[in-house]
């Protein structure tokens, strides 16, 4: 496992509202996640899992603190760049509960949308997409529509899409919630394999304790604090 940091936060805070409506969600979070790790993020509903994930993904702005993605300091009490979208496109892959594939595009076209936005040549992006579909054992589905694939196959495509920009970090928000037990285990084992083979840091929100045995570490939000258990 690589010892190179993928994510580091110091004294990261997030709150919402003012006055009587003020709510602390994350308070003084300090942690480092390395490339090659699959880290589970657990907490009761409403405790701030998705909020933390979206801060790490440069979607939600923290109130204060410092955050590095790789060796780049991206936040220090404010965003250090106006191009947070560029950071997301270049460094981060996202996976959600639903696959969110575009239903009127075939699988290969779904995968090449992000590289096209990053101005990657069509030939190069298609070659990358084909390589990933082969990696996930669904190379024969490149011309299929999402409606022609099973739930598990669509989630594999969604994971492949998250890898299309060669990210350093993948943030997965309950990627197995819509799957049965066998498919859930398959997906988490796949994420573990990706973390190791692609040297990617993966943070996975999950409510399913059965998935925890496949993770390297377990991060928990407890009384607004982020702790490892």
Sheet holding 92-95, edge to edge: 92-95, 169-173, 201-205, 38-42, 217-222, 225-228
Taking the whole predicted model, whether its pTM rises above 0.85 is answered as yes
Domains identified in the chain, total number: 1
Q: Are 56 and 7 in contact (CB under 8 A)?
A: yes
pLDDT of 2 reads 44
pLDDT of 3 reads 54
Could you tell me the residue range of the domain that residue 213 belongs to?
Answer: 5-228
pLDDT of 176 reads 85
Q: Are 146 and 158 in contact (CB under 8 A)?
A: no
- In the chain, which stretches have pLDDT less than 70? 1-3
Q: Are 3 and 216 in contact (CB under 8 A)?
A: no
Angstrom distance (rounded) from CA 106 to CA 77: 42
Supply the CATH number for residue 223's domain: 3.40.50.300
pLDDT of 89 reads 86
Question: Mind giving me the DSSP string for the chain?
Answer: ---SEEEEEEEEEEEE--GGG-EEEEEEEEEEEETT-EEEEE--TTSSHHHHHHHHTTSSPPSEEEEEETTEEEEESSBS-S-HHHHHHHHEEEE-SS----TTS-HHHHHHHHHHHTT--HHHHHHHHHHHHHHTT-GGGTTS-GGGS-HHHHHHHHHHHHHTT--SEEEEESTTTTS-HHHHHHHHHHHHHHHHHHT-EEEEE-S-GGGGGGSSEEEEEETTEEEE-
Q: Beta partners for 94? A: 171
pLDDT of 183 reads 82
């Amino acid at each position: 496992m690589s010892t190179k940091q993928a994510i580091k936060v110091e004294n990261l805070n997030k709150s919402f509202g003012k006055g009587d409506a003020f709510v602390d969600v994350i308070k003084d979070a300090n942690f480092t996640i390395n490339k090659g790790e699959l880290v589970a993020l657990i907490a009761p509903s409403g405790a701030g899992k998705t909020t933390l994930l979206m801060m790490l993904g440069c979607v939600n702005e923290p109130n204060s603190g410092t955050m590095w993605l790789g060796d780049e300091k991206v936040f220090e009490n404010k965003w250090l760049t106006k191009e947070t979208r560029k950071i997301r496109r270049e460094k981060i892959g996202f996976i959600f509960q639903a696959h969110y594939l575009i239903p009127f595009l075939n699988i290969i076209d779904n995968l090449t949308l992000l590289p096209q936005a990053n101005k990657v040549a069509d030939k190069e992006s298609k070659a990358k997409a084909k390589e990933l579909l082969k990696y996930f054992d669904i190379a024969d589905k490149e011309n299929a529509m999402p409606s022609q694939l099973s739930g598990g196959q669509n989630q594999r495509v969604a994971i492949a899409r998250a890898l299309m920009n060669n990210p350093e970090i993948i943030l997965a928000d309950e990627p197995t919630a819509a799957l049965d037990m066998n498919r859930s285990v398959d997906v988490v084992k796949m994420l573990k394999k990706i973390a190791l083979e692609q040297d990617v840091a993966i943070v996975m929100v999950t409510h399913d304790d059965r998935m925890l045995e496949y993770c390297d570490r377990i991060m928990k939000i407890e009384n607004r604090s982020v702790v490892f258990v």
